[in-house]
A = this chain, B = another copy of it.
Amino acid sequence: MKISFIGAGNVAWHMAQAFEDKGHHICEIYSRSLTNAKALVGKLFDAKAVTSLDFSNSEADLFVLAIKDDAFHIVLNELILPENSILVHTSGTKSLEILSNWQRNIEDDSISVGVFYPLMTFSKSKKLNFAEVPLCLEAENTETEKTIVKLAQEISKIVYLVDTEERKVLHLAAVFSNNFVNHLLGIAQDIMEDNDLEMSLLKPIILETVSKALQAENIHEVQTGPARRGDQKTIKSHLELLKNYPQNEKIYRVMSESVMNYFNPE
């Protein structure tokens, strides 16, 4: 297929290269910032960096809207696509409807819309195996669904049809298991480095934590630590160590309280 990306952020960065690796042609990369668009174009075979949202002369069959959620309104307002193309977005929180409404608005029935949500955390600097990225798809009609499922299966082994409500739940679960986990690991790193201890010492327990959780039928059941044991003395001494870090102290309190509540509900 001929594919263009609207957006040159972390998602576009990895997805565009994954498509190209499977022989698809990336036509245009749009970004408000030409520098950003060019950076991604530089990783691709024959794509063009553009800063206009008028794609009426584009040869692409598929447009991937990979932008921040709060840019949807402004981008959709200006977006012009060629006839008979498909537009998908990659957002975990935006509905399919937002694209259907746009399509009704421009009054071009030949354009069909869908969702192509990768349940993954991407950073430009970190390579990853796209085949392991779960792709959660939704489309407004069966034909478009067929097209994007086929495409998705070329770049990933894990392809699911997921509706807008389910996708929102997936995104919420991803916030807990990625965003918040990353923040906790960042705090652990701060604690180590503030005390001149090597972060590498924590590496084995972090790897084991995840390995154990992913094997557990019920992850709460493999919970260990002072809160699990209701060990108030240790909790108190940890809070003492955190007294000059009010934000971390708050997290410690709320997490410990939640663990204790899980095992001894009031």
Any chain B CB within 8 A of the CB of A51?
no
**C-alpha spacing A252/B180, complex, angstroms:** 8
Q: Is A224 positioned at the interface, with any CB of B under 8 Å from its CB?
A: yes
Whether a CB of chain B sits under 8 angstroms from the CB of A261 is yes
Query: Does A34 interact with chain B (Cβ within 8 Å)?
Result: no
Check if A197 sits within 8 Å of B225, measured CB to CB: no
Instruction: Find the B residue at minimum CB distance from A223.
Output: B182
A111-133 to B contact mask, C-beta < 8 Å, 1/0: 00000000111110010100011
Cβ–Cβ contact A209 & B181, under 8 A = yes
**Interchain CB contact under 8 A, A185 and B233:** no
Interface string of A249-266 (1 = CB under 8 A from B): 011101101110110000
List the B residue with the shortest CB-CB distance to A204.
Answer: B132
Main DSSP-derived SS at the A contact region:
helix
Q: How many copies of this chain does the complex contain?
A: 2
Q: Is the CB of B172 within 8 A of A225?
A: no
Report whether A168 and B237 are in contact in the complex, using a CB–CB cutoff of 8 Å. Answer: yes
User: CB distance A224 to B184 under 8 Å?
Assistant: no
Q: Which of A15-23, A25-33, A187-195 binds B?
A: A187-195
The reply on A104 being an interface residue by CB < 8 A is: no
Q: Are A169 and B195 in contact (CB under 8 A)?
A: yes
Within 150-186 of A, Cβ neighbours of B (below 8 Å) are at 158, 160, 166, 168-186
Question: Lowest 4 A-B CB distances belong to which pairs?
Answer: A179-B225, A186-B219, A177-B188, A186-B220
Residues of A within 8 A of B (CB): 10, 68-70, 93, 119-123, 126, 128, 132-134, 136, 158, 160, 166, 168-189, 191-192, 195, 197, 201-215, 218-220, 222-229, 231, 233-234, 237-238, 241-242, 247-248, 250-252, 254-255, 257-259, 261-262
